[in-house]
Amino acid sequence: MEKSADDAQLSLALKQRAEAEGFDPVGIATLPGSPRLRLRTEALQRWLNAGHQADMGWMAAPRRRSADTLLEGARSLLAVGLNYHVAHERRRDRLAVARYGWGRDYHRVVNQRLRRLGRWLQDQRPNCRWRACVDADPLLDKAWAEEAGLGWIGKHSNVIHPTRGSWMVIGHLITSEPLVADQPAASRCGRCRACLDACPTQAITEPFVVDSRRCIAYHTIENRNPALPTPIADSLGPWVAGCDICQDVCPFNQADVPSSDDPDLQPRSWLLDLTPEIIETWTDEDWAERLKGSALRRIKPWMWRRNAEAAHLNGGPNVD
């Protein structure tokens, strides 16, 4: 259907509002998406068939296959990225926590800002419907971000922007409005295999395919077993909450990547100062207090202790 001048103006204004909320990059895609989106959906099914989701059964939710199952009459979506790279670095003599978890829970941050955008959109078009989605919702979020031009899905499975790198969380605002789509992003990974070669557990079994059963991030966050598998424990290095190795080595994540000064994304100081002794002595109540409003609440206190017991500070390519 032909888009009107009003639709184009609304699309531009919505993206400007999103940027004012701190999102960058932003882009728009229209449903049902390009043929590449359908290929991404088929790739998800192959990934599931191979068992790469491990115990993450929610990844098989049928609604994940089509964005219009999340909002009746959906026609477009706004995709947004929130840069969580900040001007702080990990210390080699401390345990390591993935960057995405350093600040306030990104689910809440992104959701609140998307909901403000949704209310603004409804003020402009009172009859429109919308739904805010973060990665807890059954949506192919990375594929739709790629479709909206935010970046391409890299060989480590994260979305990479050509100048901002992959240090961003993603959100979407699905709407019934006929917005004007941006150009989908083109892949620029080329022959690079830095992320595949750097992964200490060979979790990236082939380009764009991550086997969760081998992934340090999966095991430190999602694995509810009392002990980590021996191959994971042997390769854990300093990581006790997630893992950034495949992003640390990506050429698009090097010195020129911008750092955010967003107050919601600044690190809690204790997360950069963790030692095995600290983790061992904190009570469950200590953890509950420190993890208020954090995405890392998913890691239970006994899991922090389990992970810290297996970690070793002198191993792994964490950075200064």
Q: Which residues are catalytic?
A: 135
How wide is the angle at C-alpha 89 spanned by C-alphas 86 and 114, nearest 5°? 25
Report the first-to-last Cα separation within the chain, whole angstroms: 53
Find where tokens 């088929």 sit.
42
Structure tokens belonging to residue 25: 């990059």
* CB of 19 closer than 8 Å to CB of 26: yes
Structure tokens belonging to residue 10: 């609304």
Tell whether omega for the bond before 25 is within 30 degrees of 0, i.e. cis. yes
- Residue 83, class by beta-carbon neighbours within 10 Å (0-12 exposed, 13-18 middle, 19+ buried)? buried
Q: What share of the chain is helix, strand, coil (3-state, %, to 5)?
A: 40, 15, 45
| Sheet arrangement for strand 26-30 | 26-30, 76-83, 168-175, 130-133
φ/ψ region of 33 (left if φ > 0, alpha if ψ in -120 to 50, else beta) reads left
CA gap 217, 296 in Å, rounded: 12
- Residues for the chain: how many in total? 320
Pairing outcome for strands 239-241 and 96-97:
parallel
The CA-atom distances, in angstroms, between 170 and each of 79, 113, 226, 287 are 7, 12, 32, 27
